[in-house]
Structure 1
Amino acid sequence: LGILWANVATKTIWLRSLVLLLEPKLSTFIDSLVDTTSGLLIMLSTWAIKNTDTFKYPRGRARLELVAALMCSTIMGVANIMMIIQSVESVDPSANLPTISLIVGGCLAKIILLTVCYRHGTPSSRILALDQRNDILTSVVALSCAFIGDYYWVYADPIGAICVCTFIAISWFHNALNHIPMMVGRRAQQEYLSRIMRICIKHDSHIKCLDHVMVYHTGAEAIVEVHIVLDEHLPLRIAHDIIESLTKTLTMLPFVERAFVHGDYRCDGDWQI
């Protein structure tokens, strides 16, 4: 929540600086508005994950974070396309001391937010970090091109705006495309699979081998499916304790959302049924 309010404050400064730089334009207001809207979407998704009734939604609430990230990426990409259209129609740069001061102050605040968001590491915080990075890039290019356009070449301002908005739009759409596979069952990293297999093999001496191991995503964190082979004469109590303790061990891993461990007495590949 603190990051959200800090983001709103920096957006206000950034909006004021661009108004001074480019004169009042609808596209500037829209871009700042969708930035704040994206922050609100992320805040609402985080609140819903923690406060939704677990009886009505026993599983899957964490996927709201990826849904919010996908929505934000799409909105921001479209907003930057609108900025490109506005830049083509605008050739009136103006750089002055108040504008420069506001932009530099806003960039310093955004650098701090960028560092905090990247260190947090969640999909939502990475979206906010990408937003801060793009705003810093936009501010620097806008100021530089406005200065060049004011003193040397008038078309430097719209050309710079078109270039940076094109880059930002592409980066947002690329970010959206990267989130889609995480929602439809993409296989997890090989490192995760190897770690899961090593934990299963070393977990208990009664585990003879692994019949099936699958690690995949339907959200930000991974789902783990493991079929372990035990001795067919092993007492049910011991088999149950092995499976339950292995399930808890796998679920405690930072990248795992849920783990499903099935006990079998032979390698028969029946997980495909």
Structure 2
Amino acid sequence: MASVNLVVIVESVRAIMSQEKDNGFHTQAIISVAAALGVKFALFLYCYTLQSKSSQVQVLWEDHRNDLFINGFGILMSAGGSRFSWFLCKLICQTGLDPTGAILIGAGVIFAWSHTIYEQFGFLAGKSAPHDFLQLIIYKAMTFSDEIEKIDTVRAYHSGPDYVVEVDIVMDATTPLWKAHDISQQLQDKIEVLPNVERAFVHVDHETTHAPEHRKIM
């Protein structure tokens, strides 16, 4: 996407520098883009109702949103370039609005998708949850049951747009297995109903010294 729009920007700059003119009103092109704009608007509304349920749908919604801006602005600049002159700049007046609009659209698309890529890459790379969210998890775990003596470790990180939460709790060594299981399961269920939590894992231990729990197999 960025490469295509970079080519558009380069060609538009070349058109302005060479003072190429194309002031024809291309009716068929305008009608085609307007039809695409209508379809994109319908898809935009449909994806808007589902964007909270899936990160893939949210990306599609952002794509349709960007296309609405691009196609709408493109029609405006193309039609304006054939019917009107722009008094702000003599050079642009000589070449029309169309290449200038293409530069603005291309730059806007590159910026919008660069921001989206940066945000989504953080989600896929497992970016940690903010400190306030971790504090909320700690509070929920500490106040959940009197049988929980300590909170050893709390982790929360992105797996897509939502969080995976890992909690290590400490209970007395004499706690019956059934009780340790039920408390940890109920705590897991309580954490998983929090907003933006996809999965939660609760690990029960009776101490915090932790000899290595994971060993590499050589």
Give the shorter-chain TM-score range: 0.7 to 0.9
1:140 to 72, 75, 81: 72
- 149-158 vs 247-256, greater mean Cα deviation: 247-256
- The residue aligned with 1:246 is 187
Letter in 2 for 1:247: Q
- The residue aligned with 1:127 is 59
- The residue aligned with 2:89 is none
Alpha-carbon distance between aligned partners in 2 of 1:93 and 1:199, rounded to the nearest angstrom: 66
Letter in 1 for 2:65: R
**Structure 2, gaps ≥5 residues long:** 16-20, 86-92
- The residue aligned with 1:184 is 125
**1:107 is aligned to 2:37:** yes
Alpha-carbon distance between aligned partners in 2 of 1:270 and 1:257, rounded to the nearest angstrom: 29
CA-based RMSD of the aligned residues comes to: 2.9
Letter in 2 for 1:223: V
Q: Deviations over 1:193-235 (max 9, x none)?
A: 3443343234323123322211012433322111112223322
Change (3 A) 1:191 1:114: farther
- The residue aligned with 1:171 is 112
Alpha-carbon distance between aligned partners in 1 of 2:98 and 2:40, rounded to the nearest angstrom: 23
Check conservation: 1:94, 1:150, Cα contact below 8 A.
Answer: yes
Matched position secondary structure for 2:70:
helix
Alpha-carbon distance between aligned partners in 1 of 2:160 and 2:74, rounded to the nearest angstrom: 37
- The residue aligned with 2:171 is 230
Instruction: Tell me by how many angstroms 1:252 deviates.
Output: 4.9
TM-score (norm 1): 0.61
Alpha-carbon distance between aligned partners in 2 of 1:272 and 1:216, rounded to the nearest angstrom: 21
Matched position secondary structure for 2:148:
coil
1:83 to 1, 4, 8: 8
Greater share of residues in helix = 1
Check conservation: 1:223, 1:258, Cα contact below 8 A.
Answer: yes
Alpha-carbon distance between aligned partners in 1 of 2:5 and 2:26, rounded to the nearest angstrom: 25
Alpha-carbon distance between aligned partners in 2 of 1:272 and 1:161, rounded to the nearest angstrom: 58
Check conservation: 2:170, 2:207, Cα contact below 8 A.
Answer: yes
Choose 1 or 2 for highest CA Rg. 2
- The residue aligned with 1:158 is 99
Matched position secondary structure for 2:169:
strand
- The residue aligned with 2:88 is none
- State the aligned residue count: 198
Matched position secondary structure for 1:211:
strand
Alpha-carbon distance between aligned partners in 2 of 1:125 and 1:164, rounded to the nearest angstrom: 24
Check conservation: 2:153, 2:169, Cα contact below 8 A.
Answer: yes
